[in-house]
Amino acid sequence: DAGITQSPRYKITETGRQVTLMCHQTWSHSYMFWYRQDLGHGLRLIYYSAAADITDKGEVPDGYVVSRSKTENFPLTLESATRSQTSVYFCASTGGAEQYFGPGTRLTVT
């Protein structure tokens, strides 16, 4: 688990601001994922990436942008934060089938 980290762990921002959540993994896994988990709910896929420079939309991509210039990093940007984007964001990676999750970023949009 120490191989995948997220920063910041907690973030409070205002409506309309741009926010970037960072994800870094040290395993050189090909696949990386971004999920959001709203209070008391399950995981919803925002974006995923099969390799550097290859990204694709998940279930709820609107309002989010990703990039993957290096295998180990997969940042998620909220272009103009809205209150509905208040959530816990998990990054995950896999080199086979099991997905390993980062510790999460708790984002509050006021």
Query: Is residue 89 within 8 Å of residue 77, measured between CB atoms?
Result: no
Stretch that binds another protein, among 7-15, 19-27, 73-81, 90-98 (CB under 8 A): 90-98
- Residue 3 binding another protein, by CB under 8 A: no
Q: Between 71 and 94, whose beta carbon lies closer to another protein?
A: 94
Query: Is residue 30 within 8 Å of residue 51, measured between CB atoms?
Result: yes
Q: Residue 1 and residue 91: Cα distance in Å, rounded?
A: 12
- By CB under 8 A, name the one of 5, 72, 77, 101 that touches another protein: 101
Q: Between 17 and 41, whose beta carbon lies closer to another protein?
A: 41
Please state the φ and ψ torsions of residue 77, each to the nearest 5 degrees: -115, 130
Q: Of 16-55, which residues contact another protein (CB under 8 A)?
A: 31, 33, 41-45, 48, 50
What's the token pair of residue 103?
């510790």
CB 35 → another protein: shortest distance, Å? Answer: 8
- Cβ count near 42 (within 10 Å): 7
Contacting residues toward another protein, per CB under 8 A: 1, 31, 33, 41-45, 48, 50, 58, 90, 94, 96-99, 101-104
